[in-house]
Amino acid sequence: MYKTVLFDLDGTLLNTLTDLADAGNRLCVKYGWPTHDRAGYRYLVGNGIPKLIERLAPPDSRTDAVLAAALEDFKADYGAHLRDTTAPYPGIPELLERLRQAGVQTAVFSNKADALAREVVADYFGADTFAAVRGQRTGVAPKPAPEGTRALMASLGADPASTLYVGDSNVDVQTAHNAGLPCCGVLWGFRTREELTEAGAEHLAADADELYRVILEG
């Protein structure tokens, strides 16, 4: 059994795609940039909000000043709308309770801005569900760089030999592997089975029950 499980947030615990896409498109309209269909945001998000803004901005708009202003505008707008349609994926609240009862330590490690990650996790799962919630912090390289993962594990006293990272994208698989951890890719998220397989995910889970079995059999 894995004793510690680190979860990605967007696309893994919460379906945030519509709220992220709508906030992104409102930003694009404000700045006169091309908008994108919601499905396209599956591949625009995943590397943190600053990278999302860079991807949304046309090349001739990617100055430091414009990107910085757009980043603040996005954070303010998304922060006001992050509950519009966002919801846990089916079975996730029940899974987290089953893991708690089994004595498995859980934490969230996301590329979402730290304050937003903490806020949305508290809203949907309560303040005491996870041992820790970490988002992207100033001065810490975003996923898939290993520094944030290692710092989180150290704070939890987690042994890499009994820790699993769970996520929905190749970024998550790389995050796990860069920190010396196995990864379980979830098939209900933003990306595809093929992407997770090609990235080298050790496990795949089609639903929350299957993920529970992976964790207990780990």
Residue of 8, 19, 168, 172 with catalytic role: 8
User: Cα separation of 137 and 68, whole Å?
Assistant: 16
Tokens encoding 204: 């795949």
CA angle, 21 then 118 then 53, to 5°: 35
How are strands ordered across the β-sheet holding 163-167? Answer: 132-136, 105-113, 4-7, 163-167, 183-186, 203-205
User: Cα separation of 1 and 108, whole Å?
Assistant: 19
Contact 54, 74 (CB under 8 A): no
123 is catalytic: no
For residue 185, what are the contacts with CB-CB under 8 A and spacing of at least 6? 167, 168, 172, 173, 193, 196, 197, 199, 201, 203, 204, 205
Residues with a catalytic annotation lie at 8
